[in-house]
Amino acid sequence: MAEIFFSIPDLRIFSYSTTIACGVLLWIFEGINPCFSLQKRRNLHAKLNMSMAALNLLILLPSAILMAFILEWSRNAWPGIGMLALPPVAKAVLIILLIDLWMYVWHRLNHETAFLWRFHSVHHSDPTLDVTTSWRFHFLEILISELLRLPLFMLVGAGIEHLLLYSLFMTPVIEFHHSNISIPPALDRLARLIIPSPMMHRLHHSRLRSEHDSNYGSMLSLWDRLFGSFMMRDNLDDLRLGLDHESEPDKQQLFALLQRPFRP
């Protein structure tokens, strides 16, 4: 059954390569032209976030292989969107939109559910924001996310090729809107007509709950506008990133972050 996953190596390699290439380029550009003043300990910040990303890969890589097998089996039993007899391109677009809608719902649940916020707050406790923040998540948040999204993908009839296509489009967007790169306000306004822009997502990382409980979109800004969670203000000069009582240096250590969800 391994051919199910490895029969599309070109798409898989291209998706992973795009993620790495975009991350590296944004890391370089935000060092040259940062929005917020350049971090003095930028390399240490990246080392911490990449350490958390490495732990997550221990879940994501086996999960991707297992999910490929399960989704291939489930499509034979339940075609999902396939019942609509759509052309392959239309089917792929619809499935990708549904996956992105789920990502919006999942992100919002992480903010509105106390249990899930315990894990997601690790991401928000980052006192600075750059492209490496896009990979900083508690490994149990990743595990819960993988377990919950599998039944949904089975229901809509998604295949591993749809997940790879979604990752190909979504991951560079997430890296971009987490990045510390400075872009002209007019370009940011144009970008957020379609995707969550850097200014949108910087507000999402505000210490003020009224601001960080907004702008949940991953790939498209459509869902925030549609479900009333879009928020924007023109001037972010007074924006404070992170979480009160959680962004101090002693709590920004790997072991402390891993323990964070289990503290009172």
Distance between CA atoms of 229 and 189, rounded to whole angstroms? Answer: 17
Average pLDDT over residues 73-98: 88
pLDDT in the model for residue 262: 94
DSSP secondary-structure letter at 237?
T
Model confidence band, residue 11 (pLDDT cutoffs 50, 70, 90): low
Euclidean distance between CA atoms 94 and 84, whole angstroms: 11
160 to each of 154, 165, 235, how far by Cα in Å? 11, 9, 41
28-32, 77-81, 110-114: range with lowest mean pLDDT: 77-81
Per residue in 235-253, pLDDT tens? 888 899 999 999 999 999 9
As a whole number, mean pLDDT of residues 181-191 equals: 94
pTM of the full structure: 0.92
Nearest-angstrom CA–CA distance, 72 and 33: 45
pLDDT > 70? residue 91: yes
| Tens-place pLDDT, residues 107-125 | 999 999 999 999 999 999 9
Domain boundaries, the chain: 3-262
